[in-house]
Chain A
Amino acid sequence: MTYNLAVSPDFKPDLLSGWFIFNTWLQHQLDTGIHFEIHQGFDEQLEAIDADKVDIIYANPYDISRLVRDKGFIPVAKPHAKPDEAIVVTAAEGGINVIPDLDVSATIAKTHARDVDNIGMILLEPADITPQSAQTLECDTYICVAKALINGKADVGFMLTEAFNELSPLVAKQLKPLVSSQIQLIHHAILLGPQLAEHHDALAAFLTDMHNTEKGKKILDDLGISHWEPMDKEEAEFMIDLMDTLAPKE
């Protein structure tokens, strides 16, 4: 039996090889076949989740909600001190300097990362912008958001702050951050599908000890993670409640 590992498609392309090596490490630890399935965008990953084609996942906070509540996934570990924050960005030369400069019908470039999306909308509230008043430009990836801003196709864009910080200097210098969230409590996590529940304790032990081995430490360094911390069901529930609270008014 081969299982599928998926990684939330918000990491920078340079990390791809790091996740491949992580997958190899994971197969050794669990002594089972695992295929690293690369999803090109958030939509493609959501489809795979819906079709039960994901067994192990490094998921973003919004997907964690769905996976834990609807699909019975079990939280295993979270990266130490790596909270997910959202950033609202505009074109460097676009003439928008603060959130209140925006019109209520501003065009927003965004991906389908619903956590980043929901926090981004909250950051626009001081300008009286609502999901109903704004125009949106849907993008597959954060790079596509950046391009939409640079090409003047949108007034502002939403990105994961970490993804913004990882943009190449060439792209970054054509953009200007307006505001970044400080929520501190939401983060990505590794989850295990219910069909793999028997491996939970072993995997949690392997992951939380990973940084103590030379090989494990190297893999983590390449992924920009210092070490894994255990994550229990209650912490996932807390994050899910928080995601619900952040969802836009219907």
Chain B
Amino acid sequence: MQDMQIDDIVGDYEEINQSLSDGSSRKVLVTQQETDFPAGCLVVSQTDINGTITAANESFVTMSGYSLDEIIGSPHALLRHPDMPAAAFADLWQTLQAGNKWYGYVKNLRKDGGFYWVYATAIPNIREGVVQGYTSVRREPSKTKIEECKKLYREMLN
């Protein structure tokens, strides 16, 4: 995946070399700027079986900072924030591949280097018994749950 571009970043940033589960790595530029979830915003995306985004709604564009053209065809790891433990996504993939619904709190990375927390649900899309892809909806999380998650994820990363 393409490295993040300095020109896109807003504010002071830290440069981190992120390793992805497929063995590749990506340079991400991370700021401490949090974007609040606009009330009522539901961020929707659909992926193929490999996690490549095939559809996204307007709220996805608003929250991620990427244009729809940049989003469609990109791996979902486009939003991967270095503060997220790899184990959380391993759990997501395991759950989905077993045909089950996954729920979790995720810190996502924006194109401008900032972040936003979400509560996400993802499901496998089954057509005639075969998994064809995945659908996910993210929304404003409960603040108390986020505080618990921040602690948990920090421990998981150490």
Measured CB to CB, the residues of A under 8 A from B are 85, 99, 119, 122-123, 125-128, 179-185, 237-238, 241-242, 244-246, 249
Contact = CB atoms under 8 A, between A and B. Distances in A.
B41 interface: yes
A182 B42 CA distance: 6
B46 to A, nearest CB: 7
Nearest to A185: B57
B95 interface: no
Contact of A241 (B40, B119, B135, B139): B135
Interface stretch (B15-23, B27-35, B140-148): B140-148
A183 B42 contact: yes
25 contacts: A122-B42, A122-B137, A125-B119, A125-B139, A125-B140, A126-B142, A127-B142, A179-B40, A180-B40, A181-B40, A182-B58, A182-B59, A183-B137, A184-B57, A184-B58, A185-B44, A238-B135, A241-B46, A242-B44, A242-B135, A242-B137, A244-B123, A245-B135, A246-B121, A246-B137
Contact of B144 (A128, A185, A245): A128
A185 B136 CA distance: 13
B47 to A, nearest CB: 11
Q: In which size bucket is the chain B interface?
A: 20 to 34
Nearest to B37: A126
A249 B123 CA distance: 12
The 8 closest A-B pairs by CB, nearest first: A183-B42, A241-B135, A179-B40, A179-B39, A245-B137, A241-B125, A184-B57, A181-B40
The binding surface of chain A is classed by DSSP as: helix
A126 B46 CA distance: 24
A249 B40 CA distance: 19
Contacts, number: 72
Nearest to B139: A122
Contacts of B125: 237, 241
Contacts of A249: 101, 103, 121
Contacts of B151: none
A242 B133 CA distance: 12
Contacts of A128: 142, 144-145
Nearest to B120: A245
Contact of B40 (A182, A242, A244, A246): A182
A182 B137 contact: no
Nearest to B144: A128
Given A125-B119, A182-B42, A246-B137, A238 B55 contact: yes
A126 B121 contact: no
Contacts of B137: 122, 183, 242, 245-246
B141 A125 contact: yes
B38 interface: yes
Interface string B46-64: 1000000001011100000
Given A122-B137, A126-B141, A244-B135, 4 more contacts: A119-B42, A122-B42, A183-B57, A245-B122
B122 to A, nearest CB: 7
Contacts of A127: 142
Contacts of B46: 238, 241
Contacts of A85: 40
